[in-house]
Amino acid sequence: MIKIENSRELYESYREHMRRLADVRAALALMQWDQETYLPAKGAGFRARQVATLSEMAHELATDGKLGSLLESLEQAPGLSDTEKKNVTLNREDFEKQKKYPPAFVRKMSETVSRSFNAWNLAKKENRFSIFEKDLAELVDLKKEETELLGYRDHPYDALMDEFEKGCTVQLTDRIFGNMLPRLQVILEKIRQAKEPEDSFLFKSFDKKKQWDFGMQVIAELGFDFEAGRQDLSSHPFSTSFNKYDVRITTRIDENDFSSMLFSCIHETGHALYEQGLPESEYGLPSGEFASLGIHESQSRLWENHVGRSRDFWKFHYPLAAAKFPDAFEGIPEETFYRAINKVNPSLIRTESDELTYHFHVVIRYEIEKMLIKGELKSCDIPACWNERYKKWLGVDVPDDQRGCLQDVHWSHGSFGYFPTYSLGSFYAAQFFAAANKSDQQLQEKMGKGDTTDLLQWLRQRVHAPGRIYNSEELCKYATGETLNVQYFLDYLLDKYGKIYEF
């Protein structure tokens, strides 16, 4: 029988162990951030082994017998708060899961990922899939091995999705997409028959330095704390967090595309605001971690689309943009600009696609991944499969691999099972945004004055504060009163595009 005073001591030992693990993971995250921002070209080889060594050390800490005993004792310990109990339960699950990975597997995965990332980078630069293919095939084999290590009930891909979105399965995802895609196709068909918005002014010349400055201004306005984070350049925009006081985002700038950088800035800011909103005292514990990747993505999507691509947001920001880029925007009315940034356009690049066709991009990747992991598709056949599906779903011809299957960094990171969370994120975002507006009907009016403080406040309280104490579905219910209901997303699309395309 454990005494209450011993409970506290045990909990503190466990907490310090988890904080140490978070420290090592933060070092790893810094090495990865650096790899994508500032690492000199020749440094990649040694960096790969450095990351592998730290990954192994993190794994040792995560599977340390001492931690196992602490967790076991704490499960019996009296006097813990509900949050503390939940932390123990969740970390016990993580512990059991981590123990399924042999250390040699962890090291091999880490080294293969580092090498693959470099191969992908080169392949993309040289526009040749074959440069990446061998490493990718090796990664897929490792991921298959991983599904066997982790175990699964129905489909091996379930084991991989579960890492990013607990409880998410092929069965569930197939059902959601099976329900959603035909309805998106109906909307897309209506849009195809409507008049296309004029948007050529978005592709004039926009000075890179001015784009950077405008992006930084918007990020700051949305509440990103630059004393607790920074933005840098990288080839693929991403966000990473070492703790709530050091959250980093990256972007890329295309001189001939106004939207490309700006919406990626807002998107990554959404991720960052979530991380900056996690409770400091819970560093290293589930109660201080994000809930799931789907929920993470809901935050980036909410800010990017429901805020950044909204009519109200541009009431305030369009005059600023027009003043900054008079050559491009002179004589362009606000309404024309708003329609242009929301133009639906089946296209090649996922990260630059509109809110509707985006989900076709996701489904294509999801289907390919399922086949790869099940062994129904070989890595070398990806480009053909990719191109065939882009033609089928989006009606576009993929001219080369750079704009085809080499466009995303994810596979080179070994992140299979990740893409579906992007769609889930959009669906959660719509539901969260609807709930926030229901609770404060002035939110959109305030947005029209450049003030998103109360929206952030609502998200901080309803979505950020609980950390990982609730899983996605519990959190959704806590925040909105009901579990995921994709109707919010469909209603949002119908309303938005109905007005823009007048159907």
Instruction: Report the residue number, 45 or 333, with the smaller CB distance to a second copy.
Output: 45
Nearest distance from residue 225's CB to a second copy, in Å?
Answer: 7
Check binding of 243 to a second copy (CB under 8 A): yes
Tokens 């196709």 label which residue?
A: 185
Instruction: Report the residue number, 111 or 334, with the smaller CB distance to a second copy.
Output: 111
Q: How many chain residues bind a second copy (CB under 8 A)?
A: 37
Between CA 23 and CA 373 the distance in angstroms is 32
Nearest distance from residue 366's CB to a second copy, in Å?
Answer: 35
Check binding of 503 to a second copy (CB under 8 A): no
Nearest distance from residue 476's CB to a second copy, in Å?
Answer: 30
- Catalytic residue list contains 268: yes
Residues 275-304 that bind a second copy (CB under 8 A): 283
Between CA 272 and CA 259 the distance in angstroms is 20
Among 10, 18, 54, 405, binds a second copy (CB under 8 A): 54
Q: Please, which residues bridge with residue 230 across strands?
A: 248
Q: What DSSP line would sit under 161-203, residue for residue?
A: HHHHSTT--HHHHHHHHHHHHHHHHHHHHHHHHSPPPP-GGGG
Among 15, 47, 115, 389, binds a second copy (CB under 8 A): 47
Between CA 336 and CA 197 the distance in angstroms is 8
Check binding of 13 to a second copy (CB under 8 A): no
Between CA 133 and CA 401 the distance in angstroms is 12
Between CA 276 and CA 268 the distance in angstroms is 12
Check binding of 30 to a second copy (CB under 8 A): yes
Kindly indicate which of the ranges 20-28, 96-104, 141-149, 483-491 contains the residues binding a second copy, using the contact rule CB under 8 A: 20-28
Instruction: Report the residue number, 3 or 125, with the smaller CB distance to a second copy.
Output: 125
| Beta carbons within 10 angstroms of residue 356's beta carbon | 19
Check binding of 230 to a second copy (CB under 8 A): yes
Question: Where would I find the H helices in 242-282?
Answer: 258-276
Nearest distance from residue 124's CB to a second copy, in Å?
Answer: 19
Q: How far is CA 251 from CA 268, 298, 317, 362, in A?
A: 8, 19, 20, 21
Kindly indicate which of the ranges 64-72, 170-178, 200-208, 241-249 contains the residues binding a second copy, using the contact rule CB under 8 A: 241-249
Check binding of 216 to a second copy (CB under 8 A): no
Check binding of 383 to a second copy (CB under 8 A): no
CA-based nearest residue to 132, from 144, 122, 145, 142: 122
Among 8, 20, 350, 446, binds a second copy (CB under 8 A): 20
Strand-strand pairing, 246-251 and 239-243: antiparallel
Check binding of 363 to a second copy (CB under 8 A): no
Check binding of 43 to a second copy (CB under 8 A): yes
Instruction: Report the residue number, 47 or 359, with the smaller CB distance to a second copy.
Output: 47
Nearest distance from residue 224's CB to a second copy, in Å?
Answer: 11
Nearest distance from residue 246's CB to a second copy, in Å?
Answer: 3
Check binding of 228 to a second copy (CB under 8 A): yes
Active-site entry in 84, 146, 165, 268: 268
Are the C-beta atoms of residues 444 and 312 closer than 8 Å to each other?
A: yes
Q: What are the tokens at 449?
A: 């004055």
Among 2, 26, 142, 371, binds a second copy (CB under 8 A): 26
Burial class of residue 186, CB neighbours in 10 A (0-12, 13-18, 19+): exposed
User: What is the SS3 assignment for 72?
Assistant: helix
Kindly indicate which of the ranges 133-141, 223-231, 481-489, 491-499 contains the residues binding a second copy, using the contact rule CB under 8 A: 223-231
Check binding of 83 to a second copy (CB under 8 A): no
Q: Please, which residues bridge with residue 229 across strands?
A: 247
Instruction: Report the residue number, 227 or 330, with the smaller CB distance to a second copy.
Output: 227
Check binding of 12 to a second copy (CB under 8 A): no
Between CA 425 and CA 479 the distance in angstroms is 14
CA-based nearest residue to 300, from 234, 376, 224: 224
Tokens 């950020």 label which residue?
A: 464
Are the C-beta atoms of residues 401 and 412 closer than 8 Å to each other?
A: no
Q: Please, which residues bridge with residue 241 across strands?
A: 247
**Residues interacting with a second copy, by CB under 8 A?**
19-20, 23-24, 26-28, 30-31, 34, 38-43, 45-47, 49-50, 52-54, 57, 225-230, 232, 242-243, 245-246, 283
Catalytic residues: 268
